[in-house]
Amino acid sequence: MNKLLAARLLPETLDNFFGQSHLLGPGKTLRRLIESDHLGSAIFFGPPGCGKSALAYLISRLTRANFIKTNTAEIGLNEIRKILADSRNLFSLSGKRTIILLDEIHHFNRTQQDVLLPAVEDGVISLIGLTTENPYFYVNNALLSRSAIFEFFPLTDTDLNNILQRALTDEKNGLGKYKINLSEDARKYLINQANGDARRLLNALEVALITTPADRTGKINLTRKSIEESSPKKIILYDKTSDAHYDHISAYIKSMRGSDPDAAIYWMTKMLMAGEDPRFIARRLVICAAEDIGLADPLAIVVASAALQAVEFVGMPEAKIPLAEATIYLATAPKSNSAYRALLRAEKEVEHGPRRDVPEHLRDSNLDAETRGHGQGYKYPHDFPGHFIQQEYLPKPVKFYERSEQGYEKKIKERLQEWDKIKRDQTTIASDTK
């Protein structure tokens, strides 16, 4: 059976490797290491189809070292030990090192990773680990410290277009021998649906070619419709246990905090479509309402809490509607983090400030009013004009809450200013009666 187009088009030189210019551009460290055949142990991590395997294949062609490719799903400890023993024998006999490619290295457990360490340290092998996961979560520190970490990013539209053009024109390994007419609309659709994944791009192109009959002149006309009919549904790159989970929720929160409802609703929708737990999103709404909106709109936390309750009560898929409503409400609400900052200041004061005991007049008087004097001297605010009376509530008082004029907080500030005036007047009266 013929190889798939994506396998046939693996780059044979660095010049026909498209993408990852931050790693492989002229003068970049990784490019120089590959060209000089001095690449040591390294870990390539990034999303599917961004070039990790393609670069490993290219290294296998360019290096003078012994190259062994394996997948962690297919190999156990015994196989690892045999490969390492053979590599040591080769090194001792000829001085030739071995490059071991481990695809999906994140599936290796700690014991399997530890077995590799001595050979890596001795320079007997150079390890190249490929993973779609963040290696700092899945690879042990000892192996990380002995490896160069290179992060690969999703391919840009320009990169994908270059790969597509090579596929259409390469007569030896690509589709250059066919008379293909790819419409501009179909080209854009292919690139968009690929979502930064070259393998997905090439697979969709190949399926469209196979399933589209040629016209009377032998030309294969690939339109957007023919591409759509042969392309699988667009894949959303999202893993609920790694970077994507935290990156997307961070973008969601920051978009609401930054008062951008369109961005916020996009990130929320992407997470839900990728299978994120709606309760996780709802909990973040409650946190955002308290931390970023706070007293500027006290109803925000009511709306967020109602959305959380609706998610529990209604369930998906309908629960996404109250989540969308709450997201837009919070994104468009006035913002203030004064309550959050007051909390942080109070926590710092409790930890580092002077000792403060509860004043006698503020203590509970239900049991100890007569025997210990608890509660004596307390002035009940409702007995005074305006339901307010000045008295000590905090020994050695400190200002934690900074008054803001954001939204509803403007009214709070005005009320506090009125009470400040009453305090000054009561202080003046008390001074005059002495």
Q: Mean pLDDT, 10 residues at a time, over the chain (434 residues)?
A: 83 90 92 91 91 91 88 83 89 88 86 86 87 86 89 94 94 91 92 90 90 89 85 62 79 93 92 88 95 93 95 89 95 92 91 86 72 77 83 83 83 83 71 56
At residue 165, the pLDDT reads: 94
Contact 143, 120 (CB under 8 A): yes
Q: What is the pLDDT of residues 54-100, one digit of tens each?
A: 999 999 888 888 888 888 877 888 888 898 899 889 888 888 889 99
Contact 286, 301 (CB under 8 A): yes
At residue 1, the pLDDT reads: 43
Contact 121, 35 (CB under 8 A): no
Provide the edge-to-edge strand list for the sheet that holds 42-45: 66-71, 98-103, 125-131, 42-45, 148-151
With CA atoms as reference, report the closest residue to 155 among 88, 68, 55: 55
At residue 21, the pLDDT reads: 93
Fold of the domain spanning 157-230: Helicase, Ruva Protein; domain 3 (1.10.8)
CATH 1.10.8.60 spans which residues of the chain?
Answer: 157-230
At residue 376, the pLDDT reads: 81
Q: What is the pLDDT of residues 357-402, one digit of tens each?
A: 888 888 877 766 566 768 788 888 888 888 887 888 788 888 888 8
- Peptide bond preceding 213: is omega within 30 degrees of 0, i.e. cis? no
What class is the 20-151 domain?
alpha beta
CATH 1.20.272.10 spans which residues of the chain?
Answer: 243-332
The number of helix segments (H) and strand segments (E) in the chain equals: 19, 7
Give, as one character, the DSSP assignment of residue 293. Answer: I
CATH 3.40.50.300 spans which residues of the chain?
Answer: 20-151
Fold of the domain spanning 243-332: Zinc Finger, Delta Prime; domain 3 (1.20.272)
At residue 389, the pLDDT reads: 78
